[in-house]
Amino acid sequence: MRSLRVIAAAISLAVAMMTAAQAGTRIYLMRGLGGALLSTGVDQIGARLHRPGVTVTVGDWSDAASFERDALGHRGDRIVVGGHSMGAKAAGEIGTDLHARGYSVKVIGIDPLYTGAAVGPGVNAICFYGQGFPMHGAHNVFVASEYGHVGYASDPRVQSRVVAEAR
């Protein structure tokens, strides 16, 4: 009987280790209202985040529903949702919803230009802002930038901070 318990414990440990090894990170980044025309810095951030075990998807704020559906299929993964301008608002909404469903999620706002950008209670969120507004419920960090709102995500200092937070 004891040997059966030892074998069962070993199998449970092996399954847990395999599950942990398979888990990865999924990063969803959303451009703002102007899409690829006005939020090119989001694409640059996405390119800097590619590495083994990390899936990076970049799109527009209007892709939020499909990003959330995709994240729902990856419960074991670490989820990071970020966005610039209107994409920051969408990231806050996705992050709040995923957190409420029990997912491990981090939200990164980049200069929301919408005063209602927010995350719900308990969501791990940080927002970097300069020309835009702080994100309600997030840890807000002011980073002055000469790039203005449209180019804020292209500012190398902002990009470095976003990349560090996403990793």
Q: What is the pLDDT of residues 39-96, one digit of tens each?
A: 789 999 999 999 999 999 999 999 999 999 999 999 999 999 999 999 999 999 999 9
Establish how many alpha carbons lie within 13 A of residue 1's alpha carbon, considering only the half-sphere containing its beta carbon.
Answer: 0
Q: What's the rounded Cα separation, in Å, for the pair 76 and 9? A: 21
Q: What is the pLDDT of residue 20?
A: 43
Question: For residue 158, what pLDDT band results from cuts at 50, 70 and 90?
Answer: very high
Least confident of 23-37, 79-93, 136-150: 23-37
| pLDDT (average), residues 27-34 | 93
pLDDT over 80 (residue 7): no
- Does the CA dihedral 143-145-149-155 come out positive or negative? negative
Q: What is the pLDDT of residues 93-132, one digit of tens each?
A: 999 999 999 999 999 999 999 888 999 999 999 999 999 9
The helix (run of H) or strand (run of E) holding residue 82 is strand 78-84
CATH of domain 23-166: 3.40.50.1820
Q: What is the pLDDT of residue 17?
A: 44
Contact 25, 143 (CB under 8 A): no
Per-residue burial over 71-109, b if 16 or more Cβ lie within 10 Å, else e, is beeeeebbbbbbbbbbbbbbbbbbbbbbbeeebebbbbb
Least confident of 19-23, 39-43, 134-138: 19-23
Q: What is the pLDDT of residue 18?
A: 43
Sketch the domain layout of the chain as residue ranges: 23-166
Q: What's the rounded Cα separation, in Å, for the pair 79 and 62? A: 19
Q: Which of 44, 56, 74 minimizes the C-alpha distance to 153?
A: 44
Q: What's the rounded Cα separation, in Å, for the pair 89 and 28? A: 13
Establish how many alpha carbons lie within 13 A of residue 34's alpha carbon, considering only the half-sphere containing its beta carbon.
Answer: 13
Task: Output the pTM of the full model.
Answer: 0.85
